[in-house]
Amino acid sequence: MRVGLLQLNPLVGDLESNLEDTLVAARSAAEAGAELVVGGELGLLGYPPRDLLLREDVVEACESAVARLATDLPEGLAALVGAPRRAGDGTLRNSVALCRGGVVEQWFDKRLLPTYDVFDELRHFAPGDAPFTFEHRGRRVAVLICEDFWRAEDVAFGRGYAEDPIASIHEDGCDLLVVSSASPFVLGKRALHQERLAAVAGQLDADVVSVNQVGGNDDVVFSGGSMVVRADGRIRHRCLDWASDVAVVDLEGDSTCEPCHVEEEEDLFHALRLGLADYCRKTGQRSAAIGLSGGIDSAVVAAVAAAALGPDRVTGLLMPSIHSSESSLVDARELAANLGLAAAREISISDLHAGVRSELEPILGDFGGVADENIQARLRGLLLMGFSNDTGAMVLPTGNKSEMAVGYCTLYGDMCGGVAVIGDVLKTQVYALARWLNRHPERAGFDRAPIPVSSIEKPPSAELRPDQKDSDSLPPYEDLDRIVRLRVEEERSVDSIVRLTGLDHDVVAHWVVQLDRNEYKRHQAAIVLKVSSRTFGRGRPMPLALRWVPPSG
């Protein structure tokens, strides 16, 4: 049997376009000899639909779209397509429809509904109890939907499940297992998926076809990478990463391919690029504006934006203050030239800063410190947002995960913007990504190394007071990032972090407290593109009024 893998990039709610894309892909697969085609989870509506499912006409429109698709499929082609449906008892199900012979012949309902991280499926769906299998072309085909297969074994903080759909399929037997997924990208997840697919294929002694959504929807990114794994654990075929792809695979053939091994920085870059590109495309944003400081963070964000949108749609604003060094301006100009940005405009904030000080000094006296530093950051945010309002360019904040964790960022200042491109990227990862971009510019679509060497090598500084360095306020980023990773991504205790890192107890305790205290800033932050197992945003809903003191003894 020949199976078509429809790895598509849906726009949530755009039923007409999603239906048309599915039909075009199905017809293409049929022309290549496919007898069965498989799409991703909720592919006709797009994943994740979230509370769009609560609107009274959405589910009915999806069911109607499935019926239309069934009648428009090429003759002799069967299709498994994802859509929500209303079951006979009135509950909503996350389902896959078997379309065959011009009708919707059967529904398969998702059984395991995740409620961890960015998922909240029990909010909308009831678990299914429909059969797992159907017969097609002399084969017994089993159907699972995403979590039914992965069972949270590929993530941190996943819930355990009493039910194991794979065990039930093993007991009943099948010749082919089909998995319809919308599994968000997380660094390191690719290898876990390949291992689990091989293990289950061996357990069932059957081919496994796994079709995953691709593209960005809001804060989550899907990498694609759909594949067919043989019963012996070898990969028959692997679809493209980071792009839509339609593939037809002969399950009787002997072809195999090697497991995919990619540098972490390359995966990180493509996840950020696709996440930003799709957010802009799907929300109608055509251009971006970035404050260029000459530092590493703004350099990496600008490089991602240039790759995602095209350099002609990205404007850099250089906004020096009385504390800005000439070398930083040189680095920012060099970056803009390397990337070929639409423009690199310079607007000094020195006079604005002096004007604000003159208005506040009668009240505050000759003030300084954080208040004065934040005024400068907010003046830059003001200029960026003014540029945005007039030109329509979306502002991209340039803060990283390390800074957001401990509040080393300014509300209504450097946090202004629509999408926090590196808000889930630790500072040490930012440096690693910059070095990767300079080593392999062609893999990112650049004709030369984009990041100025000085931006990588100089000590990081906000340049908001004379001779300022990040190290004046923060521990070395190597140490801070270990604390942040263990606390945020693993929710480790202070004692556990000390034991695992060897860092001073008081240092760890101080920054853990700072992390909790700055939750209010993150609640007001731009959307953060998720690339790690635990990300600031909807997947980590922490209380703001919080004082957690571990029990003694």
Torsion from C-alpha of 268, 273, 276, 280, nearest 10 degrees: -160
d(Cα 181, Cα 29) in Å, to the nearest integer? 19
Instruction: Give the pairing type, strands 227-229 and 235-238.
Output: antiparallel
In our burial notation (b when 16+ CB lie closer than 10 A, e otherwise), range 186-211 reads bbebbeebbebbbebbeebebbbbbb
The residue type found at 450 is: P
124 contact partners, CB below 8 Å, separation of at least 6: 49, 51, 53, 54, 84, 92, 94
As given in the structure block, the two tokens for residue 244 are 């839509």
d(Cα 136, Cα 134) in Å, to the nearest integer? 7
Residue of 62, 63, 99, 146 marked active site: 146
Q: How far is CA 232 from the centre of its chain?
A: 32
Contact yes or no for 170/208 (Cβ under 8 A): no
Tell me if residue 41 is catalytic. Answer: yes
Per the DSSP assignment, residues forming a β-bridge with 37 are 4, 79
Contact yes or no for 36/136 (Cβ under 8 A): yes
4 contact partners, CB below 8 Å, separation of at least 6: 25, 26, 29, 30, 32, 34, 36, 37, 38, 246, 247, 248, 249
183 contact partners, CB below 8 Å, separation of at least 6: 146, 150, 154, 189, 193, 212, 213, 222
Contact yes or no for 250/36 (Cβ under 8 A): no
Query: Dihedrals φ, ψ of 290, to 5°?
Result: -135, 135
Instruction: Give the pairing type, strands 343-346 and 314-318.
Output: parallel
Tell me if residue 282 is catalytic. Answer: no
Contact yes or no for 11/17 (Cβ under 8 A): yes
Helices (H), 310-463: 326-339, 350-364, 369-391, 401-406, 427-439, 453-457
Tell me if residue 110 is catalytic. Answer: yes
Contact yes or no for 341/314 (Cβ under 8 A): yes
Residue of 35, 41, 121, 489 marked active site: 41
Phi/psi class of residue 222: alpha, beta or left (left: φ > 0; alpha: ψ in -120 to 50)? beta
Task: Give SS3 for 389.
Answer: helix
Residue of 110, 282, 401, 427 marked active site: 110
Q: How far is CA 151 from CA 156, 308, 530, in A?
A: 12, 33, 20
Neighbours of 257 (CB within 10 A): 12
* Residues that are catalytic: 41, 110, 146
